Structure 1
Amino acid sequence: MNDLSAKAKQTANQRLFLVFAIIFIAFNLRPAITSVGPLVSSIRTDLGMSNGMAGMLTTLPLLAFAALSPFAPVIGQKLGNELAILLGIGLLASGIIIRSSGGVGLLFAGTALIGIGIAIANVLLPGIVKLKFPDKASFMTGVYTTSLGIFAALASGMSVPLSENLGWGWKKALLAWALLAGIAFFVWLPQIRKQNEDKGKIRIIQSNGNIFRSKLAWQVTLFMGLQSFLFYSLITWIPEISYSNGLDRTMSGFMLSILQFAGLPASFIAPVIAGKLKNQKSIVLVIGIIYLIAFSGLLAGGGHAIMTVWIIFLGIAQGAGFSLALTFFVLRAKDVMDAARLSGMAQSLGYLMSAFGPILVGYEYDHTQAWTWPIITLMAVACVLILAGIGAGKNRFVL
């Protein structure tokens, strides 16, 4: 009995430490990207870049997500999922360091490496959650998406103070996030000892049919891509939109932090509610309506107070939309393998779709010198998001 009790305690401790490790990995999946938006103006001025080229700093990681996502489950199968995630965090840390080491060439090379590292963890984490916590997958999705959102928001709010208030400049302000990646690397390291237990459990197989022929899989992919299109467009340009509405640079960067902090409760609650509902159509509709209200408010303009209200609305919609997209990978798949296949497809094509967001918004602003048409474009995307989400929210499996 004592042996059984000790073994049960050891298993509980291992699961608790795994939760802790997953949270630390999630902490690192956005700061290297969200820290860039508030510093775009400084980077652009320092390196003589256009708005469209500056938008590439957010777009390039998304292209890396798109390119690597289909191969991440295969990498997990070959190396073991735990080792693959460790490799991803190592690449992320290296990319952050390279990005801050020189001029335009190293800036974009490091940014691409950051995208590759994050892509691996992006795809493998939902599968690990479904495998390790099959009875609490929706809850754990809420936990790690909320953890992801916390540091995404912190990175946005800290960028300008680190760069200007402390006098670090944009390079050192971006470099600071390599420390967080280093901590996550060592926190995740003990999981390598258990990788042989799970190696090969998450893999792509052909016995259940071609996922690319599944209408539902395409609807999930479209929902993933459109919510990412909105997310990355906003984290890149909200500081500039705020600045155009009369806010100073520090407050404009803080608005991006508010945008993401406002989404934290929604990012946790949405998966929990989604897991309890027969279908998720109502959640999708609420998210879309909130988006449209907020974008209409941005078009109308206003002072600091009313801008804050619209930013909070956008944050709520973003937080719920992102976590719901990841929850679809679990709810629309029968097993771990299908979850990995759906995750790979949706994140690859979805992030490829979203990669055009920051560039398109920057291009429209460059040619109109106003934010009216960029915001109208985002409203149109939100309308299509609703249609895709209603399809993705149906109570069915992709295969």
Structure 2
Amino acid sequence: MPGGNRLLLAAVLLTAVNLRAAIAAVGPVLDDVRADTGLSAAAAGLLTTLPVLCFAVLAPVSAAAGRRLGAGRAVLASLLLLAAAQALRVLDGPPVLLAGTLAVGAAMTVGNVLLPAVVKAGFGRRAGTVTGLYTAALVAGAAAGAAFTAPLAAVLGWRGALAAEGVLALVAAVVWARAARGADATAPARTAPGGAAPGGSAPVWRSPVAWAVTAVQALHSTLYFSLTAWLPTLLADRAGTDAATGSLAASVYQVLGIAGSLLVPAVLARARGQSGLALGVAALWVVPVAGLLAAPGAWPAWAAVGGLAQGAGIALAVTLVVLRSADAGVAARLSGMSQLVGYAVGGLGPVVVGALSEATGGWTVPLVLLLAVGAGLAAAGVAAARPVRIG
């Protein structure tokens, strides 16, 4: 790999590490945050919900920023905003904390949307492999945020621990500043009125394959956020586990996502198509959901398989954006579309699952619903895996 590409790869991976860490870091210190600031339970929930809402609502804005500023400059600006927001949000009470969290979500959204376009244009035939690597870095960042925040808080307090996450963003910004010129060369092309690219290619919103890719993102996100939110509670209710065991299960689920995300490039390197991979990812999701329904006492196995599923699922969703796009401009628009719809739908998953559990007094109906979502993911994955280029 040429030196310029190595520098760009380092910038992409370091950026990816930052795209979930600030969200995952909140959970381990949430009790301290509430005790210190007086946040209600509902307001505390916004510390993780607001960034996810940004992923959906601000995805088209991020794609537009990439077209106007260039991908490199837009991502660099987002990293600087991310570092500043993580430091500033801990300086005062709830209003500043929530406003800073909103800025954190906005900054992360830019990277979410533009990195697939940068990878598409910058790595050619290696784009699938690089996509797998950066999704692995993304999952690793979330796992590190969840693992190291509590020990840091024991030394620095919760404010110092959350602010320290911004150092990672500054490191990424330094590397990205050197790689930004090459990344700007890969900036998405400007679109004509109505969303079409110059030359008259149809907008992604009218493409059946684009909708299939978007459905993969939405259904995977529904499964991921639902289990992320409810796995400890579900195990306590169905398997009689205590809080420490629930925390262990959640940690296994997050950490094994790293291995799951690395499965996708490994399989793609040997496969002639993506249909079998899509079915395999859907199966990885169905197994733990069915296991929690039928044999919750075997939770270590279901947490492990679920971890593989969530890592492989996000890698598949991002890889399909890259592989189905004819160029970097289409990749940016498809990324924006899939994240707008996907995160909006996925963000509702925990709400619907929780409401069904409360309404039915148990977890059978919610788990059956998630099984149906897994089946839908299989169908959407096969449709999205067709060898068709959008644009």
Q: Give the TM-score of the pair, scaled to structure 2.
A: 0.87
Match of 1:94 among 65, 84, 89: 84
> 1:6 is matched with which residue?
none
Match of 2:381 among 382, 386, 389: 389
Residue 189 (1) aligns with residue 177 (2): yes
AA aligned to 1:33 is: I
**CA–CA distance in 1 between the matches of 2:46 and 2:383?**
31
State the number of aligned residues.
383
Residue 313 (1) aligns with residue 309 (2): no
AA aligned to 2:72 is: E
**CA–CA distance in 2 between the matches of 1:102 and 1:357?**
32
C-alpha contact (below 8 Å) 2:7/2:179 kept by paired residues: no
**CA–CA distance in 1 between the matches of 2:164 and 2:360?**
35
Q: After superposition, give the CA deviation of every residue in 1:35-71 in whole Å (9 maximum; x if it has no partner).
A: 2344455556764534x65443332212211122112
Moved more, 101-110 or 238-247: 238-247
Residue 49 (1) aligns with residue 40 (2): yes
Residue 108 (1) aligns with residue 122 (2): no
Q: Secondary structure at the match of 1:337?
A: helix
> Within 5 Å, which residues of 2 pair with 1:137-148?
137-148=127-138
Aligned-pair identity (%)? 36
Residue 355 (1) aligns with residue 347 (2): yes
* Structure 1 residue 83: Cα displacement: 1.1
CA 1:338 to 1:241, structure 2 compared with 1: closer, same or farther past 3 Å? Answer: same
> 2:231 is matched with which residue?
238
C-alpha contact (below 8 Å) 1:138/1:272 kept by paired residues: no
Q: Secondary structure at the match of 2:191?
A: coil
Match of 1:222 among 215, 230, 233: 215
CA 1:328 to 1:123, structure 2 compared with 1: closer, same or farther past 3 Å? Answer: same
Residue 180 (1) aligns with residue 168 (2): yes
CA 1:223 to 1:237, structure 2 compared with 1: closer, same or farther past 3 Å? Answer: same
* Structure 1 residue 332: Cα displacement: 0.9
* Structure 1 residue 289: Cα displacement: 2.1
Q: Give the TM-score of the pair, scaled to structure 1.
A: 0.86
Moved more, 35-44 or 93-102: 35-44
Residue 274 (1) aligns with residue 262 (2): no
C-alpha contact (below 8 Å) 1:157/1:254 kept by paired residues: no
**CA–CA distance in 2 between the matches of 1:34 and 1:236?**
12
Q: Secondary structure at the match of 1:29?
A: helix
**CA–CA distance in 2 between the matches of 1:368 and 1:323?**
34
* Structure 1 residue 340: Cα displacement: 1.6
CA 1:365 to 1:377, structure 2 compared with 1: closer, same or farther past 3 Å? Answer: same
AA aligned to 2:178 is: P
Residue 59 (1) aligns with residue 49 (2): yes
> 1:212 is matched with which residue?
205
C-alpha contact (below 8 Å) 1:270/1:324 kept by paired residues: yes
C-alpha contact (below 8 Å) 2:186/2:328 kept by paired residues: no
Q: After superposition, give the CA deviation of every residue in 1:245-293 in whole Å (9 maximum; x if it has no partner).
A: 5555455334323212212222122134236534322222222222222
Match of 2:282 among 285, 288, 311: 288
> 2:253 is matched with which residue?
259
5+ unaligned residues in a row in structure 2: which ranges? none
**CA–CA distance in 1 between the matches of 2:50 and 2:122?**
32
5+ unaligned residues in a row in structure 1: which ranges? 1-10
Q: After superposition, give the CA deviation of every residue in 1:179-205 in whole Å (9 maximum; x if it has no partner).
A: 212221222221234466x17554434
C-alpha contact (below 8 Å) 1:59/1:358 kept by paired residues: no
Q: After superposition, give the CA deviation of every residue in 1:163-185 in whole Å (9 maximum; x if it has no partner).
A: 4xx26554444333122122212
**CA–CA distance in 2 between the matches of 1:237 and 1:161?**
24
**CA–CA distance in 1 between the matches of 2:152 and 2:350?**
24
AA aligned to 1:115 is: G
> 1:71 is matched with which residue?
61
AA aligned to 1:204 is: T
Moved more, 142-151 or 41-50: 41-50
AA aligned to 2:218 is: G
C-alpha contact (below 8 Å) 1:287/1:321 kept by paired residues: yes
**CA–CA distance in 1 between the matches of 2:33 and 2:264?**
36
> 1:5 is matched with which residue?
none
Q: After superposition, give the CA deviation of every residue in 1:119-162 in whole Å (9 maximum; x if it has no partner).
A: 11111111111111112111111111111111211222334444
* Structure 1 residue 242: Cα displacement: 4.7
CA 1:74 to 1:230, structure 2 compared with 1: closer, same or farther past 3 Å? Answer: same
**CA–CA distance in 1 between the matches of 2:166 and 2:128?**
30
Q: After superposition, give the CA deviation of every residue in 1:103-126 in whole Å (9 maximum; x if it has no partner).
A: 332332222111110111111111
**CA–CA distance in 2 between the matches of 1:234 and 1:37?**
15
> 2:315 is matched with which residue?
323
**CA–CA distance in 1 between the matches of 2:368 and 2:309?**
17
